[in-house]
Amino acid sequence: MTTRPDPAALADLALETARLAAELVRGRQAAGVSVAATKSSDVDIVTEADQAAEALIRDTIRARRPDDAFLGEEGEAETGTTGVRWIIDPIDGTVNFLYGLPQYAVSIAAELDGEVVAGVVLNAATGLEYVAREDDGRLVATRDGRAIAVRGEAPLSHRLIGTGFSYDREVRVVQAQAVTRLLPHIRDVRRLGSAALDMCAVADGQLDGYIEEGVHLWDHAAAGLIARAAGARTELAQGAGGLTLMLCAPAHGFEEFREATRQAGFMAPVTIAGNGE
């Protein structure tokens, strides 16, 4: 009989591995960054550091857990036999990394039997560590080891909302129009350049909400768990530009946020998934 992997141990391995990857990423930043390739569009870039960090993450985890599955932004998906799948974004915020803006993160989530059970988002520039970890059967979100929670209630007009823009130039037009319609109803918007760190900012009370079309599982798997453990709700919907849309906001006031963003034109009418996975 095989024993069920312990989610707390998976969180520990994720954190240990993210620290190693962040060290590599910091070293590459100090040495100077250039674009290695482009992906979905001419502005969707990958650097040699993205590739090296993802290889390091896979190798480190594989050395301890050789039979797990992997899904990463920069490599092939690998199947496993243990029920554990690691979801990796080696540098979330690659454009910030290229420009030296200190807002890029290593993101590692562990999924067990299809459910994310541990997550780490480590800002490689500042060293800030966000973790969602099971503690005595309860999921806890921390920043540098201290418990965090979402911001308190606020009227829509006083909410600061994070967002981002797709690498697809046509989708950006739709997104810009939706932002234009939302702006008069909220405090302001922020476009910080890392979806994972934006969602951790919601978890940490630095944003009142986050919405973005064009996100991928590796952008939000770890951060979504951290946000939910801190009292946020996450929801995936069909974006107005045809791509996956992520909404993340404190559970209190979530409905009002969803309705405001719907009316602003962020989403197509039908919601496609429940809680972010």
**Which residues are tagged catalytic?**
73, 89, 91-92, 94, 219
Dist. CA 39–CA 210, nearest whole Å: 25
Question: Is residue 147 within a helix (H) or strand (E), and if so which, with residue range?
Answer: strand 146-147
SS3 at position 196: helix
User: Between residues 16 and 44, which has the closer beta carbon with respect to ligand IPD?
Assistant: 44
The site for ligand IPD (CB under 6 A) is made up of 73, 89, 92-94, 164, 193-195, 212, 214-215, 219
Q: For residue 159, how far is the Cα from the chain centroid?
A: 21
Burial (0-12, 13-18, 19+ Cβ within 10 Å), 246:
buried
Q: Using the minimum distance from each CB to ligand IPD, give the nearer residue, 132 or 195.
A: 195
Which residues is 211 bridged to in the sheet? 163, 247
User: Cβ of residue 6: shortest distance to ligand IPD, in angstroms?
Assistant: 29
- The least CB distance from residue 259 to ligand IPD, in Å, is 23
**What size, in residues, is the chain?**
277
Distance, CA of 261 to chain centre:
20
Q: What end-to-end distance do the CA atoms of the chain give, in Å? A: 29
- Of 243, 248, 239, 245, the C-alpha closest to 268 is 239
Beta strand pairing call for 188-190 and 209-213: unpaired
Rounded to whole angstroms, the Cα distance separating 14 from 89 reads 12
Nearer to ligand IPD, 193 or 276 (CB): 193
Whichever of 68 and 73 has its CB closer to ligand IPD, that residue is: 73
Q: Minimum distance between the CB of residue 28 and ligand IPD, rounded to whole angstroms?
A: 14
| Least spacing, CB of residue 126 vs ligand IPD, in Å | 16
98 Cβ contact partners less than 8 Å away, ≥ 6 residues apart: 33, 34, 35, 45, 47
Q: Helix, strand, coil: what percent of the chain each, to 5?
A: 35, 30, 35
> Quick one: 73 or 208, whose CB is closer to ligand IPD?
73
The least distance separating ligand IPD from the CB of residue 193, rounded to whole angstroms, comes to 5
In the bound complex, which residue of the shown chain has the CB atom lying closest to ligand IPD?
164
To the nearest whole angstrom, how small is the minimum distance from the Cβ of residue 17 to ligand IPD? 17
Query: Closer to ligand IPD at the Cβ: 110 or 246?
Result: 246
